[in-house]
Amino acid sequence: MRTRFIFATAAVAVIALASAAHAAPNLVTNGDFEAGNTAFGSDYTFVSGPNAATPPAVYAIDTSPHNVHNSWASFGDHTTGSGEMMIINGSQDGGERVWFQNNIVVDPNTTYFFSTWIHTSFDEAPAQLNFSININAIGTTFTAGSIADGWQQFFTTWNSGADTVANIALVNQQLAFSGNDFALDDISLSTARPGVPEPAAWALLIMGFGCAGAALRRRRMLATA
């Protein structure tokens, strides 16, 4: 009975850790594209259907690049492997925003973590992506890898300073006609670093395992009494 209590206490600690680690919300709406072509903007043209993504400066929301261009690789989204992603045929015109989202409410003087995942869909002239918040560049230019590299993460921090809203934009600096094809998924802006629990989560975990340790010591003392 006491052994079951120990494991139950540890389980509660793990659950508390998971809950606290995800307590800070993602401020980007539909960052995983599971709601389809909504809640974000693009200077590109939306297309859908087989082979619809053949001209430059278009994008689709689909479960695989191969579904919208028969020369592109077939792979699943980053979130679950079977959901939606944003699939892009890069523009030949500079300065066009591939993706943007405006008027995201943020707290002033706060450090935020920005992250997104990129996957090349055709191995020629890889995308060169620049991200900005409120027109100011964040991080450095991200050059996409090969198809074999799979999903790659762009990650950087941003301090809001006096700002109370964030206008996020992605511009592709690669202007090649052939190639320049990629997918985006899981765009996020949050006060929680992706994959790293916040201090409150660690406190809950330590407390949970502390209770488990105390129960185990009490069981040993009773056994030797």
The pLDDT tens digits of the residues spanning 36-52 come to: 999 999 999 999 999 99
Amino acid 223: pLDDT: 54
Token output for 64: 């695989």
84-135 pLDDT, tens digit each: 999 999 999 999 999 999 999 999 999 999 999 999 999 999 999 999 999 9
Determine the pLDDT at residue 7. Answer: 44
pLDDT in tens, 139-180: 999 999 999 999 999 999 999 999 999 999 999 999 999 999
Q: What is the pLDDT at residue 161?
A: 98
CB atoms within 10 A of CB 46: 12
Q: Tell me the CATH number of domain 26-196, given options 2.60.120.260, 1.10.580.10, 3.30.410.10, 3.20.20.70.
A: 2.60.120.260
CB 66 within 8 A of CB 147: no
Residue 222 has pLDDT above 60, yes or no: no
**In the numeric block, which tokens belong to residue 56?**
């430059």
Q: 185 forms bridges with which residues in the sheet?
A: 117
Q: What is the pTM of this model?
A: 0.79
Q: What is the pLDDT of residue 194?
A: 76
Instruction: Give the helix ranges, DSSP H, for the chain.
Output: 2-21, 199-224
Mean pLDDT of 8-37: 70
Domain extents for the chain? 1-23+198-225, 26-196
Residue 25 is predicted with a pLDDT of 96
Q: Which residues contact 9 (CB under 8 A, 6 or more apart)?
A: 208, 211, 212, 215
- 168: buried, middle or exposed (CB in 10 Å: 19+, 13-18, 0-12)? buried
Distance (Å, rounded) from C-alpha 172 to C-alpha 80? 26
Residues 6+ apart with CB under 8 A from 120: 73, 126, 127, 144, 145, 146, 147, 149, 181, 182
Bridge partner residues of 105 (DSSP): 165
- At 165, phi and psi to the nearest 5? -135, 155
Residue 34 structure tokens: 């599971």
The more confident residue out of 215 and 155 is: 155
